[in-house]
């Protein structure tokens, strides 16, 4: 095992959760409170190159052509420390990241970001991790990154420690016609990070224990929906699960919400489309953006409908994406 003499590049896609991860059992190891399930998206990804070198005095992190300050790169450097410990090396690294996720889109760029970083940094450190171990490593950077190692439909089993909490694929190359229309709606309110938001829910929401029970049921239902390719069951369960997660923010103390005015409008538009016979469902994460799960064959007209309301540039159509790829 030795560090590589050239940069290693990894590409990982972001994912959106159909059964949400919202709360940690272990803050340090990032062990979640429940199993979660996501779909990896093809349009949004992060590409990261890493090289460790004896000649570097400090880690250097370049993000979208900007060199990050020591403060801004802290989370990346902490993650590199974990890779160094794993590989038994003590070299500093040069990290160059390009993010192909619209900034401020709230589309979980930390998921693709830490998945790509885990892939590139581990290989550059001389490690050849299998995908399960890669997902465990990515988990240490950001919980949702655990799932971005795999393509298509992915489950993250909760586990109870570092060894048992990892992702696995459920259907890596879905043969059914599924698409996600992502609406990028600007947040005017100062955002509460998912890290802070979920911690507040765990500590203050009286609904939290019931959420765990309900989400474990949703996880089983969602697996069935994917196995039987039951779109209505998948969509309905995803919508319910998302709104129960957002009910946790409302029921936290102090109460807060990721909804903005446009989120409410967009969710009502999805309900109206359903009343008109177009099968589609919404989900939302730790930001105001609404993602619409639909049949691929309906994606274009659904996108046009929302472009009329929110503008051309605010609507993106995406489909199931691939798992991580790492250069040799």
The residues, any chain, with a CB within 8 Å of residue 151's CB and separated by 6 or more, are 13, 40, 169, 172, 173, 320, 321, 322, 323
Residue 112 CA to residue 61 CA, distance in Å, equals 16
The nearest distance, CB 259 to a second copy, in angstroms, is 6
- Kindly tell me which residue out of 62, 86, 247, 322 binds a second copy, with binding defined by CB under 8 A: 247
Determine, following the binding rule CB under 8 A, whether residue 104 of this chain makes contact with a second copy: no
The nearest distance, CB 261 to a second copy, in angstroms, is 4
Total residues at interface with a second copy (CB under 8 A): 32
Peptide bond into 254 cis (omega under 30): yes
Distances (CA, A) of 108 to 25, 32, 105, 206, 286: 21, 17, 8, 27, 9
The nearest distance, CB 98 to a second copy, in angstroms, is 34
Determine, following the binding rule CB under 8 A, whether residue 257 of this chain makes contact with a second copy: yes
Query: Exposed, middle or buried by CB within 10 Å (0-12, 13-18, 19+), for 286?
Result: buried
- Residue (91 or 207) nearer to a second copy, CB: 207
Is 79 within 8 Å of 115 (Cβ atoms)?
no
- Residue (38 or 249) nearer to a second copy, CB: 249
Determine, following the binding rule CB under 8 A, whether residue 103 of this chain makes contact with a second copy: no
- Residue (134 or 242) nearer to a second copy, CB: 242
Residue whose C-alpha is closest to residue 241's, from 279, 189, 293? 293
- Kindly tell me which residue out of 253, 301, 308, 311 binds a second copy, with binding defined by CB under 8 A: 253
Tokens representing 174?
Answer: 């879905």
First to last CA, the chain: 14
Determine, following the binding rule CB under 8 A, whether residue 163 of this chain makes contact with a second copy: no
**Phi and psi (nearest 5°) for 271?**
-60, -40
Under rule CB under 8 A, which residues in 167-226 are in contact with a second copy? 188-189, 206-207, 209-211, 213-214
Determine, following the binding rule CB under 8 A, whether residue 261 of this chain makes contact with a second copy: yes
The nearest distance, CB 275 to a second copy, in angstroms, is 10
Which positions touch a second copy (CB under 8 A)?
188-189, 206-207, 209-211, 213-214, 236, 239-240, 243-244, 246-248, 250-251, 253-255, 257, 259-265, 267-268
């Amino acid at each position: 095992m030795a560090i590589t003499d050239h940069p290693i590049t990894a590409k990982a896609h972001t994912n959106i959760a159909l059964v949400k991860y919202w709360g940690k059992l272990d803050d340090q190891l990032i062990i979640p409170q429940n199993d979660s399930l996501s779909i990896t998206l093809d349009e949004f990804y992060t590409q990261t190159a890493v090289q460790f070198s004896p000649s570097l005095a400090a880690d250097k992190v370049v993000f979208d052509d900007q060199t990050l300050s020591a403060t801004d790169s802290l989370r990346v450097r902490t993650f590199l420390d974990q890779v160094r410990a794993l590989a038994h090396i003590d070299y500093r690294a040069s990290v160059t990241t390009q993010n192909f996720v619209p900034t401020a889109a709230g589309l979980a760029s930390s998921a693709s970001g830490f998945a790509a970083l885990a892939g590139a940094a581990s290989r550059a450190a001389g490690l050849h991790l299998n995908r399960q171990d890669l997902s465990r490593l990515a988990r240490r950077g950001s919980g949702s990154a655990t799932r971005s190692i795999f393509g298509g439909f992915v489950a993250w089993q909760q586990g109870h420690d570092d060894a048992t909490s990892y992702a696995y694929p459920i259907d890596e190359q879905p043969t059914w016609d599924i698409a996600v229309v992502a609406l990028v709606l600007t947040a005017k309110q100062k955002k509460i990070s998912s890290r802070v938001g979920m911690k507040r829910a765990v500590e203050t929401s009286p609904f939290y224990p019931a959420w765990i029970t309900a989400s474990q049921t949703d996880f089983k239902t969602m697996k069935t929906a994917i196995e039987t390719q039951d779109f209505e069951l998948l969509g309905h369960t995803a919508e319910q699960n998302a709104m129960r997660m957002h009910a946790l923010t409302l029921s936290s103390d102090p109460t807060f919400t990721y909804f903005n005015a446009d989120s409410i409008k967009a969710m009502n538009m999805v309900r109206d489309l359903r009343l008109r016979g177009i099968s589609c469902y919404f989900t939302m994460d730790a930001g105001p953006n609404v993602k619409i799960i639909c049949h691929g064959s309906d994606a274009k007209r659904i996108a046009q409908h929302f472009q009329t309301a929110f503008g051309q540039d605010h609507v993106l159509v995406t489909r199931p994406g691939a798992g991580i790829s790492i250069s040799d």
